[in-house]
Homo-oligomer: A and B are copies of this chain.
């Protein structure tokens, strides 16, 4: 074929090879921007709203790009990027005395390059300290760690874990193996050294170095990936208990974040039963699994399951020891944000106070309410 075919005139370079050849692998550009017009309409819309959701392990999301419609700062920029707007939109009207920042960066937890993961974590932590924690004393930070490499993780915890504005260590629930595994011991030693809870936030399941999304393999749709969240958290919960982490680190607190709440009830019934029958195989597990959960684990509220009626709600709350273990969170500015005004059914005063303030104050070593310290009634 000649270069003039198809209409456009091009200068034909004199070939540097005398005999013609066949090249069997030439990469023409097929990026999303050029192939998108050829996608069916529903996928064009999903890609516009949530991005290409590639490579593997990523799913489309909910809301607008995964965010609440009204969470985008009027001055521009991504949702959650403008402290002044966050104050006006969430912290002030919802009377948030302290807010634990959890960032966005679950991608780093799937990265196969441990040193790059560590660099991303440190960069996230430094940005957070400078641009957020130093600007509003209500906000407390999470230490992002490259959990793929527990020794680098411990270094990062030791580097900033002693700061008064740091409240916890955070990792993705997507993991190489469940977090009770002894591989992670250096992380818990560092958490205990600095009296920092270890928080597992959903994300990163089935991505990069992490295990497939479920024990049945990879899932297809975003809603299935959400349905996988309690599953993955179940694995971590059982792992902490049956690997004996809380016997080795009795002061360690573990927070389960954004995987729902009430699945914990039947799960603890089952673990207690199995422990009675099989404890001979894990003799280091000295107490009922539900006891370890009660003393050493905490669960945040969002997204809480809607029970068929109030009676079931109350019994589920009892079964998970909510008075000791439950802590409110909003997931601001994500699309399934839970307002503290309506996230939960009406709770009695004492339970409300534990869930919306005191349980968090206890594990994050935060002071009592300023209004109370100033002698005002709350």
Contact = CB atoms under 8 A, between A and B. Distances in A.
A235 B60 CA distance: 18
A319 B315 CA distance: 13
Contacts of A356: none
Interface in A194-240: 205-206, 210-224, 226-228, 230-232, 234-236, 238-239
Contact of A235 (B179, B211, B219, B311): B219
B211 A216 contact: yes
A305 B216 contact: no
A274 B227 contact: yes
A270 B305 contact: yes
Nearest to A236: B216
Interface string A265-277: 1110111111101
A242 B216 contact: no
Interface residues of A, number: 71
A21 interface: no
7 contacts: A173-B216, A174-B215, A178-B219, A214-B231, A223-B271, A266-B305, A308-B315
* Most chain B beta-carbon contacts within 10 A, residue among A213, A263, A270: A270
Given A211-B211, A215-B231, A311-B311, 11 more contacts: A62-B277, A62-B278, A173-B216, A211-B216, A212-B215, A214-B231, A214-B232, A228-B238, A260-B270, A266-B316, A273-B306
A303 interface: yes
Given A211-B216, A231-B231, A242 B221 contact: yes
B274 A263 contact: no
A91 interface: no
Contacts of A274: 223, 226-227
A232 B234 CA distance: 11
A282 interface: yes
Interface string A259-303: 010110111011111110110011000000000000000000001
A243 interface: yes
B181 A223 contact: no
A343 to B, nearest CB: 13
Contacts of A267: 227, 230, 263
Contact of A216 (B178, B269, B270, B271): B178
A320 to B, nearest CB: 10
A134 interface: no
A71 interface: no
A175 interface: yes
A133 interface: no
Nearest to A231: B231
Given A212-B215, A217-B178, A235-B215, A230 B278 contact: no
Interface string A165-176: 000000001111
